[in-house]
A and B are shown apart, each in its own frame.
Chain A
């Protein structure tokens, strides 16, 4: 069965703090893809990153970084020096290669609130 768990429902931080959003996934497939999306109050989901199961390299993009560990089935997302504009709901998602990518299984989301 495929499943994505984001155990943190809500996180509140003060601006400039670092924050890590956790994501744990379950899949029987050996080939799969993991994603992070951001949903600001406007409602539109914004793509942040895609990672395939064969690439365990961590990635950094500006203040954002991602840590992918197959051994623990985790794909965590860290925001360094958070800003008020980072306030949003963040979703982790899984897609198995067998379904050719058209189906994303989402976690329940983590609502991040960054206060000034």
Chain B
């Protein structure tokens, strides 16, 4: 089975611009979660989508948004970029169904640099 894929792998943007990152989960996985990783704050949860609905949300400003499509692929968008948004953005997928908490499998990440 193919793993979680993320595109693009690297991105350089200017302050004030917006950016869209894409994530394709493992086939059959319906839950997609997004995380931001920075040296200072570590790994922080952004949001989770399941069946095209946001099921959980982290403590990030409204500039960070996401969506999920019917094929479980997900995108996240960051508007009005700030220097502090420079980070590795990780996407993870899991089965997500029922009451069991399944393990999440991570993609390679998108390295975003804001200048």
Contact = CB atoms under 8 A, between A and B. Distances in A.
Interface of A: 33, 35, 37, 42-47, 50, 52, 91, 95, 97, 99-109
Main secondary structure on B side of the interface with A? strand
Interface residues of B, number: 28
A105 B45 contact: yes
Interface string B83-115: 000001010101010011111111111000000
Given A91-B43, A97-B99, A102 B105 contact: no
B62 interface: no
Given A44-B106, A104-B33, 11 more contacts: A37-B106, A99-B55, A100-B99, A101-B96, A102-B31, A102-B55, A103-B33, A103-B48, A104-B35, A104-B92, A106-B35
B42 A104 contact: no
